[in-house]
Every structure is written in structure tokens, then in C-alpha cells.
Amino acid sequence: MSDRWYEKAVVYCLDIDSFADADGDGCGDIRGLIGRLDYLSRLGVTCLWLNPIHPSPNRDDGYDVSDFYNIDPRFGNLGDFAELLHEAGNRGIKVIIDLVVNHTSDQHPWFQSARSSPDSPYRDWYVWSETEPADRKQGMVFPGEQAETWTYDRTAKLWFYHRFYKFQPDLNIKNPAVREEIKKICSFWLQLGVAGFRMDAVPFIIEETQPGDPTAPMDFEFLTELRQHVQWRKGDAVLLAEANVEPAQLTQYFGDAGGSSNRIHMLFDFMLNSKIMLALAREDPEQVIDALRDAPKLPPGGQWATFLRNHDEIDLSRLTAEQRADVFAKFGPDEDMQLYDRGIRRRLAPMLGNDRRHIELAYSLQFTLRGTPVLRYGEEIGMGDDLTQPGRHSVRSPMQWSLLPNGGFSTAEPDRLVRPVISEGEFGYSKVNVTLQRHDPNSLLSWFERMIRTLREAPEIGGGECKHVDVQVPPGVLVHRADDGTGTMVFVHNLGTEPGVVDLSSLAGEAEFPNDVLADQEYPEPGKLDAIRVEGHGYRWIRLRRTA
């Protein structure tokens, strides 16, 4: 049984500005978050992942950083953040923060200096070209919103590279001074007390861009350097990376060719995410089975991070055109539900028609598959999306706490809120909020609390071996298992709407006293495992054995 904390974590992702406003200015803040830590503790959260917290012009929701060594004044100050780390630690909650070092804001003092003079000490901290690059209009991350990846700067009289928006110039990873500065940033926040970093856009951090060469080499050795540096500064610190790349490339992010786990600890499992969405759309688990079977073997200590919804769109770019069309048709049929021709900008509850059974099924499936589960704020109460908001802001509306004005998020006037609270329809805060669900033992929030408590009692989930159980099943049914030194669990999920019965008697020889530890309803005892019934959109977590 591993003692790596991140293998047993439940990670909760939130934007500070959208979570809780303590001072009534319309923007969430650190003091507001501190006031809600007991809620997160009761939910079962063991790790908070905070989206960007640094000062920023805020043209890209904080991902355009102008100072890596401070807190956005809208949220508070470094003293408030230190208090957050202390209070979270008192509740057994670790905190990781976004590390956005692929680029800076064009307002960052480094870039302002770099563009001002060829003699600036920061000139070589960015990627420049004296002539217009031939690949200027290639490689855009935000098609439809981006026209190019190279922009001419009239002050510098040079073209600068930006994988994202033109107000986010890329840092030059080939410059040793830049590499050392990134390590210094990590050291600062580790010393303050964070437990690690979610690294944004890692493939773009390590690409060694050359003008006119769209196939830049990748410097994976920088990840080795960074891992070593972080580990020496704080032994149990974790690096959780976003790397939506081809499956064949994934293992290079975990470690070198020798099989060592000496780079990133955890990677978001984008491939599994899109396969789950396809499976839910088709009511057919075959794609999830393929994902479990075809996943690359990770080195010891390497871990997947699973998710259904995050702060961005659901990225379906790894699916085929036919598969993507099926998911769009089911979950994002309208053009305003889609983004960048590759994703869906909706929360899960409205995608699934606010069908409680379907929502439970989906999250039960995510939380029982391999890896560490990551949960987006508001999903635990079934919050909706706001498609009137531009782009990714549709899934970044304020948290809905109560029946108070603005859903209890803020006492500010509605026109001063950082973003509108959802107030109308079936997902309005008068119908969907924490307080109402807290008083209802049958609410989605209560279910999430029970599910996460059950997860904490089953350490083989996430940290153990996860594999498909290959038996005859009715259409739509998936059976998988989790094993490690603590015991064995088997899971039955019915993605279809019709009930089914599964014969799992082939596992009876491994069972001591098989029993349901979580299910969508009361079922007959598993007994000899030869007639395991599961309703449409139903699920069963069955413990086969427990090892002392």
C-alpha cells in the first residue's frame, strides 16, 4: 500500500474569484474561501487546487500573470494566503496552485523591459524573430479567437512568439536564466506552504520554438530538473500536469527512457475523459474498456488524475470526427454549447438533462476508475452553466450557497459581481444551492459526501491496479475491479437505461464476504455473485475481500 498522499487524494478545483466573497466587493476572495473550508472538509476534500492567484490584467482569467511572487489584490494579500494554508492544514487539506510559466502577461515588467531595448537583461527571456515567421498562422490554441502565434512588436521592432493570445508572450525555456527563475518561483511558494503545483500547458513550456519551424523539439530534461528541485525543497510536493498529447508521448512526461519516475508525478487523463464522454453519449462502455486496456504502463509513483468537468471546455480533439459528432449530438447539439470546434462548454448536470441517476452514475464511474479524482466546484450540488457568458466563462459562474441574494456568494449589487450568478430556470440558485441540499439527506450533495467517505475506506481505488473484468454482460454494462494489498473491490456500472443482470461467479473464489458498500439503490445481497442485478443508470460497488 503506497503512502504517496496524492494517490489517495480527492482534489477540488476552484476559482477564488467565483467561490465566496467575504468583503462584499463582488469578487470572491481568500477570506471567503477560508470561511468555507469546513464545508470542503465535510465534503471529503483532501486537496485544493486553486486556479491562478497572481496579479494579472485579467484578460485571460488570470492566466496572463504580471507578478509570480504575489497575490492578486482582488483576492487579498500574502498574509491572507498564509492564513489559508494554515487553516486548510488544520483540516487536513493540502493546497496546490496553478503554475503558469509557459508565458507571462505582456504587462509583466520582464516583457516591458525585454521589448524596450536590445540591451535589456530580459530580451532573451522571450522568443523573438527578426523576420516574419513562415509558420506565423499555425499552432493556435484558440482557433476563432486567435489569428496567429507570432505578433510584431513596434517597440522592439521584432516578432514575438505566443502560443496563446498575443497579450501572453512565451518565455524562452532555452535560456538558463528563465529555467532558474521558474525554479525560484516554485521555491517561493513551497516555502510559504503549498503542497505542489498544477502545471499549465506543459508541452508548450518545454517546446524549444524556432521561427518557421512548427515542429519544435521538446526539452523533457527541464521537467527532470524541475522535479528534482521541487523534491529537494519539499519532499512530498507534487507536480500535476496538463499535457493533452498523443498516448505514445505520455510516458515521457512521467519519466525518462530508463523507466524512472523522475519528472511529473501526475497527469490529467484527457484520453480517458473523452472516452467516458463518448461512452455516456453512446450508452456503451466499450471505449472505456479500450482506454483501460490501452493505457501506457506508468512508472512507480506515476499517477493519473481523472475528471469529468474542469475549468475549460470538454476537449474532444482526441476522438475521431464520427465519435466527436456523437458526443456533440448528445451533449452539445447547439452551436453556442460548443467551443473551438473541439469541445463542449457545459457543466455535467445540464449535459445529462439534470437526471440525478445519470449524474450519480457518471461520477461513480469517474471515482472508481484508476487515478486520483478531481472535482470542479459546484458539481457536487449539480450547478448549471451560463451560456450567455463568453467562451469558458460559461462554467465559471459563482458558487451557489443559499437562498440569499446572489446565491449567498456576495452581498454586492448584482451588477458588481465578477460574473452573474445563475438565477433563472431549473439551475437557478433558488433551486440549486448548498443550504437546500444540506437539509436534504437524499440530495446530490449528501450523496457526494457518502460516496467520498466510501472512497476513503477503499484505498485500492485509485492507488491500486484497475482493470476491466471480461465477462458476458448485457448491453451498456461495464464491470471493472481494483486490487492492491488492502483488498479487492469490483464495480458494476450500467450506462444504459434498461436493467441488467451480470454473472460474476467467476470471482467467487476470491471473495470472502461480498457486500455492497455503495449502490444506487438497495439490492439483494451479492451472495454467490452469479446474479448481480443493476438498474438502468445504476451502479454497485461490491467489496470482495479486505486484507488486514
Q: Active-site positions? A: 200, 242
- Helices 221-233, 176-192: axis angle to 10 degrees equals 30
Under 8 Å between Cβ of 104 and 66? yes
Burial degree of 446 (CB within 10 A; 0-12, 13-18, 19+): middle
Report the run of H or E that residue 268 belongs to, with start and end: strand 266-268
HSE-up of residue 487 (Cα within 13 Å, Cβ side): 17
Neighbours of 78 (CB within 10 A): 12
Place of cell 487553516: 87
Neighbours of 477 (CB within 10 A): 23
Burial 101-124 (b: 16+ CB within 10 A, else e): bbbbbbbbebbbebbeeeebebbe
Under 8 Å between Cβ of 349 and 382? yes
Alpha-carbon distance of 482 to 461, in angstroms, equals 6
Alpha-carbon distance of 358 to 348, in angstroms, equals 10
Greatest C-alpha distance within the chain: 78
Cell numbers at 322, concatenated: 464520427
Q: How far is CA 170 from CA 384, 467, 521, in A?
A: 34, 40, 52
Spell out the residues 6+ positions from residue 308 whose beta carbon is closer than 8 angstroms to its own: 273, 276, 277, 348, 362, 363, 366, 376, 379
Under 8 Å between Cβ of 390 and 350? no
Alpha-carbon distance of 346 to 477, in angstroms, equals 26
